[in-house]
Amino acid sequence: MLKFLTSAALVFGAIAAHAADNTTQTLTDALHKVAPQAKLQSISESKIPGFYNVVTDGHVILMSGDGKYLIEGHAYDIDAHADLMHEGMTGARKEGLAKIPQEKKLIFAPPNPKYTVTVFTDVDCPYCREFHKQIAEYNKLGIAVEYVLYPLSIHPGADKKAQTVWCEKDRNTAYTNAMNGQTLPQKTCSNPIAEVGSIAASMGIDGTPAILTSDGVQLGGYVAPAQLAQQLENQQKKKPAAAQ
């Protein structure tokens, strides 16, 4: 009996994998009819029956499983007050975060953090500066903040400032000084800024600050300390008990 069940499970798994492969191919072929150069990053089932979240070139679209319909823009779950397009990017953002190791971040953390967030930041971003002014409060609330330097093209020279921060011996102090408006002597060195910038773009990060949980959930742009702690607690409650 056990042997039969094991064989049945293997057959079912093979069928499911084949069906998934067929869906991927169908959606890829359909997407390339309207955007031949598009690079498909991931596919996942949408909350809308019959539709899939298709992440391509750093943003998400909805496509019907038969490849006949494509929706670009925003789709809302009215009862849940949730933007389904944001949710569709969660998997891609989680994968992107996994590609950025600790040594390519600036980490401000309390001794025993309760929560950890990754924050994509730009030295010339006003709300990034407002966020960092309260870094002690975030840490006091048990939130570890892992910054990724992500200078935006709308801020000319921000890339050089980010590079200077990275090239300082004490990067955290340099970052704090820069966020307080100090002009640091320009420095150059080998740095990960272009690399992590490419990853951020693939994750659909197009503004700063961008606050993400380790699960790839974006909690917003600037969020005040108490509000962020509450959001993180809410996210923790949503996780299955085994995952906590």
Largest CA distance in the chain: 74
Cα 208 from Cα 52, distance rounded (Å): 28
Contact 107, 146 (CB under 8 A): yes
For 2-83, CATH gives 3.10.450.70
Cα 89 from Cα 42, distance rounded (Å): 9
Location of each CATH 3.10.450.70 domain in the chain: 2-83
Question: Considering only 63-67, 86-90, 146-150, which range has the smallest mean pLDDT?
Answer: 86-90
Q: What percent of the chain has pLDDT over 70?
A: 88
Cα 159 from Cα 39, distance rounded (Å): 27
Predicted TM-score of the model (pTM): 0.76
Cα 167 from Cα 188, distance rounded (Å): 6
pLDDT in tens, 95-113: 899 999 999 999 999 999 9
Kindly tell me if the per-residue pLDDT of 20 is higher than 60.
Answer: no
State the pairing for strand pair 143-149/218-220.
unpaired
Can you spell out the DSSP letters for 190-240? --SHHHHHHHHHHTT--SSSEEEETTS-EEESS--HHHHHHHHHHHHHHS-
Cα 114 from Cα 70, distance rounded (Å): 41
Cα 31 from Cα 169, distance rounded (Å): 47
CB atoms closer than 10 angstroms to residue 6: 10
pLDDT in tens, 149-199: 999 989 999 999 999 999 999 999 999 999 999 999 999 999 999 999 999
pLDDT of amino acid 161: 96
Contact 199, 99 (CB under 8 A): yes
Cα 144 from Cα 140, distance rounded (Å): 9
The confidence band for 139, taking pLDDT boundaries of 50, 70 and 90, is very high
Location of each CATH 3.40.30.10 domain in the chain: 97-237
What are phi and psi for residue 78, nearest 5 degrees?
Answer: -65, -45
pLDDT in tens, 37-47: 888 888 888 88
Q: Which two tokens stand for residue 107?
A: 């980490």
For 97-237, CATH gives 3.40.30.10
Task: Determine if the peptide bond prior to 209 is cis (ω within 30°).
Answer: yes
Cα 103 from Cα 231, distance rounded (Å): 27
Which of 39, 33, 75 has its CA nearest to residue 54? Answer: 39
Q: Which two tokens stand for residue 104?
A: 């390519």
